[in-house]
Structure 1
Amino acid sequence: MGSAVMDGNQGIPADEIRPDEKANKLKVDNLNIENLLLRDEDIFQTSLNSEDYLDSLAPIIKDALNKNELSGLIHKLNEIVQNKDEELSDLSLNSTQYINSCINRIDSIQVESYELNRNLQQVSQYLNRSVMELVAKKKNLIKNKELSSKIEETTVVLNLCISVLEITNRIHDLIKQHKYFSALKLIDELTNIHLPKVENFSFAIKIYDSVPLLTKMIKEDSFENLSKWLSVNVERKLHAIGEALFDNLYTLQKHWTSMKRNKDSLSCYIPHKLNSPVEVSMRDPTLNYNIFEDKALQINLSTVYDAILVYQTLNEEELLSKLYHKEWLKKYNRVIYPITTTVTTNTKTSDDANIASFANFPSLEEYLKKIAAFFVADKQINLSAKFQIRSNSNSNDLWESYSPKLKQALLKYVQTHEFDLDGIIKFKDLVGNFLQVIENNGFKILELYEILMILFQQYFAPEIMKQFRLDFNESIQSDHYMPLIIEDRKDYENVMKVCWYRNDAPFSPAKLRQLPVTFPFSEDYVHYCLGIRSLLEETIQFISEHYSHNSYEIVNIVVNEIFERVLGPETGIGISNDIKEFITKNQTNKEVVSQSYTNLEYYLFSLYEVGKLINRRLRSNLGLGVNNMDSDGSVTLKAVTYFTDLRKFAEDVIFKMVDNKIRELLDMVDYDDWLPTTVNKEASFYIKDFALYLENLFSSIFSNLPSSFKTLGLFRSYDFVAEHFLNILKDVDRYNRNAIENFDLDVSYLEDSMSKLHSTQNVSSEGDGTGGAVALESTFTELRQCINLLKLDNYDQFTKNPQFRMRTFDRIKFEDGLKLISKMEQDQDELDPNVSLNEDSMNSSVLSLDSQAQSNFSNTASAKFAKFSSKFRKRQDPENL
């Protein structure tokens, strides 16, 4: 359509530029000129194509006038006008072509408009049909919405009904799953929330009517489930629970023993037993056994809690408590069999036939473990349930009603079974462990604790005393009754550890210089010391764990019914009686009797140490010692008196044996010639034999006896001999001086023998070392004075001189002297016709004076012996040993 006029700035062909675009371009060019004009003068900007063009141009012109640049401005304006005219000419030429093209386009638009109109008519027809269809569909839609609304309402109701049915089914499922509290909560939800929404339906009414029955079923089933839970988790697991309880008790015992041994600060707590307040306060809480925390048992308390919640929800806790108590009593009656047979029997009047019995120890052990498990489970279930179903007093009352029955059964078991010492200890441990388990869980055990006291007093004490006595009798029967000789250092140390002795004994470690060492006592004393220590330790061991009550009674049993009796004089029980019988049986055996006397000295000393040892061991184990303590803190057992008497008895047996032997020897001495014609040059052979036998007798009997006892023995023996020879002299009818000389020779030989025997026996003397010898010599004083009297050349000094008589013959009564003198045959040249020796011829006043003086100064050998014996006994008093 002609050559395209290109715009200088945009490069667009001129024939393609529309008129409005050209006008705009003109305005832009004018604006550029204006800007160009104003740029040089820095004049404000204005729009040249605006209505206020002239107003805007005036300041420009004014400014140019002021600067004398008006010509330049006019020149520029002319240029602008010229350029605009040229642009306008070009635009006019181009507009023709543009108009032609517009006409062509209008023609085409008309054609297109026609087509468009035809299409619009078609669309209008289509829209008309669509509107009709839409109206019909809208009507249908409205109908459908109404129907849908009804369907939705029906759906909601159906869903509610379905929900009710589902909840109902869920309730039944929960009941089958034994989740009764959850079922009860769903019933409450169903009744209060869901059923009111569908209350017009008949099935809802039926469901609502079934709620009480359903609730009752839940209540009954929950308790029935609880009963089954008791059977399965408690009754059937009692054996396992019992074993676990006893195992836990062993752990507690071991822990407490370890604490007392390992901590010095706990030394004062040693007497306290398991379950004592001190032990409980110091116990590690993690050691306490809880049935429901034992993973091996796998006992879940959810059933118990579920039942409690169900009955609490229904406000029927009291009913649950009654039902549970009744059910627990059923379990109790089954568990306590065979004691069940004695439930209705009065235990105070029942005979043995009505008391339950156990065939053997294993059956009793299993039963006690089961009982312990039952009562502990009762306490722990109640504690876990916070005593909602059964109170603590209910458990305690049940136990207290059961204890007397079990006590009778245990007593019958003890009475109907034979026990050795091991059996007694085994039974004690079983019953003691049982009681400790029970006590550890808060039950009272004093009723059954009497079983332990009876077992200790009536069974253990006699049995251990019996064994001690048997061992002791075997020891005294097998003893060689010779002083014990030890050659080995270790053996010596063992004897020193076992035996009691004085610190100043010559065989004590402080005074020992070398081995071998000879002890005064025999093996019998060593066995006795060992037996006494073992007796005490076994007794303490027996009461060390389970005897935590009745401490005073226990001390009394240990001291008075074990040691006092076993050391006492009771026949068949006390060893002092056994020793006495043994000495009596062997009273003719000088070795046995003399060594027994020596042993008794150490027995007697040991009793003081035994009393102290018993007191220490009892205090360390029970915290309570012997009551009858002396002011110095020592303990004097009654057995001290028994053994003191026993030693006196052994002393009498020794003296009796010596007296019998001396009597036998004296019977061999025969004085039949009292009128000899010659005087012997030496003592008679039977006197020498008698002195030799007597010396051998004392050497064998008194060799190992205390020196004080030797002195007393010699004193008694020679006093007996002196009295015998004095009686011989007094019983003779007639004798002459030769007989008296011979008799004097024999008596002198006996006196020398006595002195020699005194020195060889190492007899210690009283006082300054001469009192013993003087006392021994005094035994022959009366006999010696009688002989010396008869040997006088003139008897007038005796009969007529009281001072001489009292000074020289103080041991002879005047009338006895006259009798002796009267028996003497005298030669004719010795007779004095002026003197009569008949008692009737004596002056009565002289006789009276002499008798009075003699009574004042006379001291018989018996009185002398009595004083010496009293002095000896005082020295040998146990308090001075």
Structure 2
Amino acid sequence: MPYAYEPVDDLATAVQRITLTSSDSDYIDQLIPVIKDARKSSNTNQLLGTFTQIAAERESEIERICNSNHQEFISSVNQLLRVREGTVRLTTEILSLNQSIQASTEKLAQQKKALVDSRSVRQNIDDTTNALNSCLDVLRLANQVHDLLAKKKHYAALRALDELRNVHLREVSRYKIAEMIEKSVPATQRLIAEAVMSDLNMWLYRIREASQYLGEVAFYHTEMRRMRFKERAQEDPHLAKFKLNSAMELVADEMDEFDLLHNEETETNIEFGPLFECMHIHETLGQSDQFRAEYAATRRKQKELLIPASLNLLDPDEAELSSLLECITGFAVIEKATMMKTDNFRATVDVDELWDSMCQSAILLISKALNSIESDEKLLKIKGRIGLFIQTMDRWGYSINSLNSLVLTIFHKYAQLLKRRFSDDFQEIVSTDDYMPMPINSIDEYDKVINVSWYTPEVSRDELSFPCVLPFSQMYPLCCIDIRNFLNQIYLFSDESFERSAVIDETLHTSLDELLCENVCKSLVDRLSSQYPGQIVQILTNLEHFETACAELQKLLFEARSSNSASGPIVLHALEQFRAGKKTAEKRIFELVNSKIDDLIETAEYDWMASTAPDEPSPYMQELTRYLSVNMNSVLLGLPTEIKELIYFDALSHAASMIMDLPLDPGVRRISPSATHALAMDVTFLLNFVDSLANPALKENLDELVQTVALMQTKDPDEFFDVSQANKKYGRVDRANGAILLEKVREGAAATPPPVVSSRSDAFATFGSRFGINRNKD
């Protein structure tokens, strides 16, 4: 420890203390401050004197000691010399030994150096061995990654690669191999990503191949649900107002579990393991967005592969259509299942976009192929497959609006084909009918006709005797059958996948109306050009029954249409058409009857200047009454009474007018009394015939003719010109015609002798007595 100097005033004391120090270092340490102090105080000489005095004192003491111990000192010196001699000898030996030791030490140093060097080499070897082992472990792990990759254990390979990179590579980070492996990690990650994508692509290929079968199973499941719900609706009518895929149906069917993707019965097993592994690996690699985009692009490409270039709908089993719809169904089900089994992997907008694209492509193909379909039955089958497709996809939550529009398009074509087919049927029925009252030979045949026809018989079923005849011809029940079939087949298009809507109701209303108007009513009216009154009468009868059928059809259509579209009564224009056709038929009958009357009256051969009166009515008058009697009792027998009365009324009116025109003909200048008697006899004969009909209203048509003939036979022509008398006796006679006939009769009477009245009857007496005319009156 360094000596702590304390300054003192007495140099002698300080020097004394310095000399008593035990070591040179302490001596110096104490001396230096004293010297410094002496210099500061200019006591350097004093200090030197002090040291000199102390040295003299010590020499004196040494001399004193030596003087008192001289002999011992000599002995000691001698002894010391001997010791010194021995010491020199020992020193020589030591030096020799030292040289020997030094030589051994150099050898030992060389050996030690060699040992140190060998230890260093061994350490290097150990370090190298450890480094090699660490590198081998890294290489083993690197190879293990590739082995796992070869064994399809992609996630295990990725985890091993991650462990290699984050743990083991750090242990060998100072070696080149670490850098090499570190550089190869991205490539290995790409290999893993490519390998897992390869497996995913294989999985996507397999599910694309399985899509059709999956769709077929989905259709089968929907069909089974249909059947089960139909059975439940039959047991519980309350369920009938609900449809498939409604909340009520889903609740009722929840006990019948069916996993479309995993079902032993149908042998379907769609595993999503490859997709989940691929998602997890890409998420670990930080490539989730890239993988999501790549997966979406792959599914879009697969979607394109599902859609064929063309579609044939003419095959008997609709195989191509079924295949297309089943593939789309399977594809869409996989997409929906992927959304449900993953979290934010498949965006709803992407799935809906794929669905819309597939629907539009399918609709385009089907719409083009529909142009080749000419069978309504085929369209019904096509609609059935599409309806099953709609219900299946509705169950999986897809939008079906565009498909409903397609079904509506199919319905319009279906209605057109039905209309065309039934139009041909109606045309054939109308053209091949015999237009005779329909004979019925048995009660079974009668029941069949009554059941299909809108006809209420006047005679009860129990009072019938066979064979019998129904008023209408065979075409009427045949048309009624076709009408019912048309209704049934239109409504057959409506089911739970396409409800009976206002579109169906309106299409049915319009189509049926056009069929009845164009193919039945118009065809019947066109056939009124026939010259056969019996055929015209039968057409009129048929038109009347069709009118009844139209009224019943209006009620039926009103009851059958959907409640949502009900807005007022159903009105068939065909009803007015049939009414107008009846009027046309009636006019045609009038024309034919009047034409026959014209022909008969044209055969009248009156000798207007005859001098002898005939004994019997003219042949034409007999033929005329016979024609009217036979025609009404045979040809016109099937007509309603009011129509027959109208025909009689019109025929008699026309006959009276034609008979009236005979004497008024400008070529007849004079009429003899005999000719007047002959005309009166014919009119009386006609009047008797009308009386036999027991219809007083018909006689009114003959009033003008009877009064005119009575005027021609009067003895007092001036009564006609007396207004009061004329109104009583000749009120129906035309004033101008009466004057003309009186003049012709006057000139005829002046030119011929009085007529000879037949002994058989007094025509004038008979004629005058009917109308209260007294021939003896002045």
TM bracket, shorter-chain basis? 0.7 to 0.9
Aligned Cα RMSD in Å? 3.4
Output the amino acid matched with 1:782.
E
Shift of residue 332 of structure 1? 2.2
Shift of the 409–165 alpha-carbon distance from structure 1 to 2, 3 Å rule, reads same
Which residue number corresponds to residue 554 of structure 1?
Answer: 504
Which residue number corresponds to residue 302 of structure 1?
Answer: 273
In structure 2, list runs of 5 or more residues that go unmatched.
1-125, 754-778
Shift of residue 777 of structure 1? 0.4
Percent identity, aligned pairs only, is: 23
- Report the secondary structure of 1:780's partner residue: helix
Which residue number corresponds to residue 29 of structure 2?
Answer: none
In 2, are the aligned partners of 1:740 and 1:791 still within 8 Å (CA)?
yes
Shift of the 830–210 alpha-carbon distance from structure 1 to 2, 3 Å rule, reads closer
Please say if 1:481 is aligned against 2:402.
no
Shift of residue 735 of structure 1? 0.8
Shift of residue 712 of structure 1? 0.2
Which residue number corresponds to residue 684 of structure 1?
Answer: 618
In 2, are the aligned partners of 1:682 and 1:745 still within 8 Å (CA)?
yes
Which residue number corresponds to residue 471 of structure 2?
Answer: 520
Shift of the 156–265 alpha-carbon distance from structure 1 to 2, 3 Å rule, reads farther
Which residue number corresponds to residue 443 of structure 1?
Answer: 398
Q: In structure 2, how many angstroms separate the alpha carbons of the residues matched to 1:741 and 1:683?
A: 10
Shift of the 713–411 alpha-carbon distance from structure 1 to 2, 3 Å rule, reads same
TM-score of the two chains, using structure 1 as the length reference: 0.65
- Report the secondary structure of 2:719's partner residue: helix
- Residues paired across the two proteins, number: 623
- Aligned partner of 1:407 among 357, 363, 382: 363
Please say if 1:602 is aligned against 2:524.
no
Please say if 1:533 is aligned against 2:484.
yes
Shift of the 786–365 alpha-carbon distance from structure 1 to 2, 3 Å rule, reads same
State how 1:138-287 maps to structure 2 within 5 Å.
Answer: 168-192=142-166, 207=181, 210-231=184-205, 233-269=206-242, 272=243, 274-275=244-245, 279=249, 282-284=252-254, 286=256
Shift of the 697–830 alpha-carbon distance from structure 1 to 2, 3 Å rule, reads closer
In 2, are the aligned partners of 1:540 and 1:617 still within 8 Å (CA)?
no
In structure 1, list runs of 5 or more residues that go unmatched.
1-151, 339-355, 630-634, 760-772, 832-881
Please say if 1:755 is aligned against 2:667.
no
Which residue number corresponds to residue 261 of structure 2?
Answer: 291
Please say if 1:736 is aligned against 2:672.
yes
Which residue number corresponds to residue 712 of structure 2?
Answer: 790
Which residue number corresponds to residue 382 of structure 1?
Answer: 338
Q: In structure 1, how many angstroms separate the alpha carbons of the residues matched to 2:239 and 2:352?
A: 33
Please say if 1:428 is aligned against 2:383.
yes
Output the amino acid matched with 1:787.
V
Output the amino acid matched with 1:576.
C
- Report the secondary structure of 1:449's partner residue: helix
Shift of residue 717 of structure 1? 0.5
Which residue number corresponds to residue 575 of structure 1?
Answer: 520
Shift of residue 807 of structure 1? 1.9
In 2, are the aligned partners of 1:484 and 1:521 still within 8 Å (CA)?
yes
State how 1:504-519 maps to structure 2 within 5 Å.
Answer: 505-509=457-461, 512=463, 517-519=468-470
- Aligned partner of 2:643 among 709, 719, 726: 709
Output the amino acid matched with 1:329.
R
Which residue number corresponds to residue 101 of structure 2?
Answer: none
Q: In structure 1, how many angstroms separate the alpha carbons of the residues matched to 2:136 and 2:710?
A: 147
Please say if 1:365 is aligned against 2:301.
no
In 1, are the aligned partners of 2:473 and 2:542 still within 8 Å (CA)?
yes
Shift of residue 208 of structure 1? 5.2
Which residue number corresponds to residue 799 of structure 1?
Answer: 721
Shift of the 778–386 alpha-carbon distance from structure 1 to 2, 3 Å rule, reads same
Please say if 1:314 is aligned against 2:285.
yes
Q: In structure 1, how many angstroms separate the alpha carbons of the residues matched to 2:149 and 2:627?
A: 111
Shift of the 734–492 alpha-carbon distance from structure 1 to 2, 3 Å rule, reads same
State how 1:833-852 maps to structure 2 within 5 Å.
Answer: none
Output the amino acid matched with 2:444.
K
Q: In structure 1, how many angstroms separate the alpha carbons of the residues matched to 2:752 and 2:307?
A: 113
Shift of residue 755 of structure 1? 2.9
Which residue number corresponds to residue 656 of structure 1?
Answer: 591
Output the amino acid matched with 2:150.
K
Output the amino acid matched with 1:645.
A
In 2, are the aligned partners of 1:375 and 1:399 still within 8 Å (CA)?
no
- Aligned partner of 2:452 among 485, 492, 498: 498
- Report the secondary structure of 1:543's partner residue: coil
Which residue number corresponds to residue 331 of structure 1?
Answer: 302
- How big is each residue's C-alpha offset from its partner over 1:758-796, in whole Å with a ceiling of 9 and x where there is no partner? 35xxxxxxxxxxxxx232101101011111112221122
Shift of residue 480 of structure 1? 3.5
Shift of residue 730 of structure 1? 1.9
Q: In structure 2, how many angstroms separate the alpha carbons of the residues matched to 1:292 and 1:174?
A: 29
Shift of residue 702 of structure 1? 1.2
- How big is each residue's C-alpha offset from its partner over 1:454-488, in whole Å with a ceiling of 9 and x where there is no partner? 2322x322321222233333333443333334343
In 1, are the aligned partners of 2:328 and 2:358 still within 8 Å (CA)?
no
Which residue number corresponds to residue 698 of structure 2?
Answer: 776
In 1, are the aligned partners of 2:672 and 2:752 still within 8 Å (CA)?
no
- How big is each residue's C-alpha offset from its partner over 1:491-529, in whole Å with a ceiling of 9 and x where there is no partner? 332223211134xx41355x8465555422232221121
Q: In structure 2, how many angstroms separate the alpha carbons of the residues matched to 1:525 and 1:404?
A: 46
In 1, are the aligned partners of 2:211 and 2:329 still within 8 Å (CA)?
yes
Shift of the 280–649 alpha-carbon distance from structure 1 to 2, 3 Å rule, reads farther
In 2, are the aligned partners of 1:425 and 1:542 still within 8 Å (CA)?
yes
TM-score of the two chains, using structure 2 as the length reference: 0.73
In 2, are the aligned partners of 1:234 and 1:377 still within 8 Å (CA)?
no
Shift of residue 442 of structure 1? 3.0
Which residue number corresponds to residue 452 of structure 1?
Answer: 407
In 1, are the aligned partners of 2:339 and 2:345 still within 8 Å (CA)?
no
Output the amino acid matched with 1:453.
L
In 1, are the aligned partners of 2:502 and 2:561 still within 8 Å (CA)?
no
- How big is each residue's C-alpha offset from its partner over 1:678-718, in whole Å with a ceiling of 9 and x where there is no partner? 22332123321232123222223210110000100000101
Which residue number corresponds to residue 16 of structure 2?
Answer: none
Output the amino acid matched with 2:346.
R
Q: In structure 1, how many angstroms separate the alpha carbons of the residues matched to 2:155 and 2:297?
A: 22
Q: In structure 2, how many angstroms separate the alpha carbons of the residues matched to 1:540 and 1:293?
A: 37
Q: Which moved more, 1:386-395 or 1:776-785?
A: 386-395
- Report the secondary structure of 1:395's partner residue: helix
Which residue number corresponds to residue 118 of structure 1?
Answer: none
Which residue number corresponds to residue 87 of structure 1?
Answer: none
- How big is each residue's C-alpha offset from its partner over 1:171-192, in whole Å with a ceiling of 9 and x where there is no partner? 3333223332333334444445
In 2, are the aligned partners of 1:615 and 1:625 still within 8 Å (CA)?
no
Output the amino acid matched with 1:595.
Q
State how 1:820-859 maps to structure 2 within 5 Å.
Answer: 820-825=741-746
Output the amino acid matched with 1:702.
L
